[in-house]
């Protein structure tokens, strides 16, 4: 393996996601395997600016593969959006002679790394670490599988009480402005309707669907709402609208929130985190840069960063059609 780099830095940035620790562990251990020094940068890009950096070795990342969150901590760093902040970050890297970076994060984090690479020539590889799954070039981002299972288990619990009280629940799930979590958990839990930002379902169609649910004699009804959905002003405003138009429904709202970001990563997320971390290091050693590691058709692949960031949505609208069949 020809090494065109001297030292590697690794950081986690943006909203954390389960599996980030598996990827950090893989980066650190594969760097050691290939006899390259590796440094952990804490609190995302903030740690680059504030010089919060520590040399890591294989033992530094023991017993974390099964842990949610990220041992490197994370943050959304506004200073890094400025050229002064990025210059400061570059000076910190120079102090440690770090000339290549692995960034584990979502759209904003990888976008920041791309600008940094263009401005300062740092070799850069991204790993899609976000529960939103809103990056092109990968079938799923790191943490998405775990978040789906977490949200599904949570909504199954809501179903129990909805049945006991014959209620309609609006359940809001995360995803920022993408509907992947809502679409897949909605199908998995038998939602009456799934509201996602990629498809504009009018409130009139929603009301008609809820009327059908009532006349079909259903003993509970769940509507899964992606937090970025625009059918109503908010999930609470939707609930008020439904109560006004359908007084027979007893309506409740449940916002799953940040619990979707936590928990022990699934086997799948641990495996892809490990694959992505090793591939990121070996790509840098091969002199590659400006790529995002992904997984498609079961194979690890690389996508040019400019195509990966906020690429064309790959939402599978076929699942919406199938959900409507299942809510007969
Ligand atoms: O990007 C991951 C995510 O969890 C989104 O789904 C959500 O909208 C956002 O982060 C919440 O951001 P914060 O953790 O800063 O409140």
Phi, psi of 33 (to 5 degrees): -55, -40
pLDDT over 70 percentage in the chain: 98
pLDDT confidence of residue 2 = 52
Query: Of these residues, 16, 99, 132, 229, which one is catalytic?
Result: 132
pLDDT tens-place string over residues 265-300:
999 999 999 999 999 999 999 999 999 999 999 999
CA angle 158, 270, 49 (to 5 degrees): 100
Is 60 exceeded by the pLDDT of residue 1?
no
In sequence order, the β-bridge partners of residue 300 are: 295
Q: How far apart are CA 260 and CA 165, in angstroms?
A: 25
Q: Among all chains, which residue has been given the structure tokens 């009327």?
A: 211
Distance 274 CA to ligand 1 centre (A): 24
CA atoms within 13 A on the CB side of 289: 19
The CB density around residue 180, as the number of other CB atoms within 10 Å, is 26
- Asked if 26 contacts 127 with a C-beta cutoff of 8 angstroms, the reply is no
Instruction: Output the residue whose Cα is nearest ligand 1's atom 2.
Output: 15
Torsion of CA 268, 133, 127, 56, to 10 degrees: -70
Percent of the chain residues past pLDDT 90, beyond the cut: 93
Nearest to 194 by CA among 173, 211, 167: 173
Angle between helices 180-189 and 144-165 (to 10 degrees): 50
Q: What pLDDT digit, counting tens, does each position of 226-244 carry?
A: 999 999 999 999 999 999 9
Look at residues 26, 29, 20 and name the one whose alpha carbon lies nearest to residue 57: 29
pLDDT, residue 4, reads 79
Query: Is residue 215 predicted with pLDDT exceeding 80?
Result: yes
The two structure tokens encoding residue 39: 């440094």
- Averaged pLDDT for residues 125-138: 96
Does the reported pTM lie above 0.85? yes
Distance from C-alpha of 10 to C-alpha of 220, rounded to nearest angstrom = 47
Say how far apart CA 284 and CA 307 lie, in whole Å.
19
Ligand 1 nearest atom to the CA of residue 181, by list position: 6
Q: Give how far Cα 23 sits from Cα of 46, 129, 184, Å.
A: 20, 9, 24
Q: Who lines ligand 1 at CB under 6 A?
A: 15, 106, 130-132, 174-176, 227, 261
- Residue whose Cα lies nearest atom 14 of ligand 1: it is 15
Tell me which residue has its CA closest to atom 12 in ligand 1. 15
The conformation of residue 231, written as its DSSP 8-state character, comes to: S
Task: Report the alpha-carbon distance of residue 23 to residue 276 in Å, rounded.
Answer: 7
């Amino acid at each position: 393996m020809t090494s065109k780099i001297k030292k590697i830095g690794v950081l986690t940035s943006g909203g954390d996601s389960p599996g980030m620790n598996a990827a950090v562990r893989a980066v650190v251990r594969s760097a050691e395997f290939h006899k390259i020094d590796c440094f952990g940068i804490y609190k995302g890009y903030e740690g680059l600016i504030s010089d919060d950096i520590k040399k890591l070795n294989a033992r530094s990342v023991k017993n974390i593969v099964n842990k949610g969150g990220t041992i490197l901590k994370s943050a959304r760093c506004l200073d890094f959006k400025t050229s002064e902040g990025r210059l400061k970050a570059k000076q910190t890297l120079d102090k440690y002679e770090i000339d290549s970076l692995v960034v584990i994060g979502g759209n904003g984090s990888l976008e920041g790394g791309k600008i940094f690479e263009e401005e300062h020539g740092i070799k850069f590889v991204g790993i899609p670490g976000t529960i939103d799954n809103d990056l092109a070039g990968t079938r799923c981002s790191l943490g998405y599988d775990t978040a789906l299972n977490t949200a599904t288990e949570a909504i199954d619990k809501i179903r129990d009480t909805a049945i006991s009280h014959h209620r309609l629940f609006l359940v809001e799930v995360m995803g920022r402005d993408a509907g992947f979590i809502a679409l897949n958990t909605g199908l998995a839990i038998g939602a009456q309707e799934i509201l996602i930002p990629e498809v504009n379902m009018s409130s009139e169609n929603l009301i008609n669907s809820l009327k059908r649910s009532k006349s079909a004699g259903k003993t509970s009804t769940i509507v899964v709402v992606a937090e970025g959905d625009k059918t109503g002003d908010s999930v609470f405003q939707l609930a008020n609208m439904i109560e006004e138009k359908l007084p027979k429904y007893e309506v409740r709202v449940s916002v799953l929130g940040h619990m979707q970001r936590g928990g022990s990563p699934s086997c799948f997320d641990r495996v892809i985190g490990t694959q992505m971390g090793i591939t990121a290091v070996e790509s840098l050693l091969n002199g590659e840069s400006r790529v995002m590691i992904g997984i498609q058709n079961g194979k690890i692949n690389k996508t040019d960063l400019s195509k990966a960031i906020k690429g064309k949505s790959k939402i599978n609208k076929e699942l919406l059609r199938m959900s409507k069949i299942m809510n007969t």
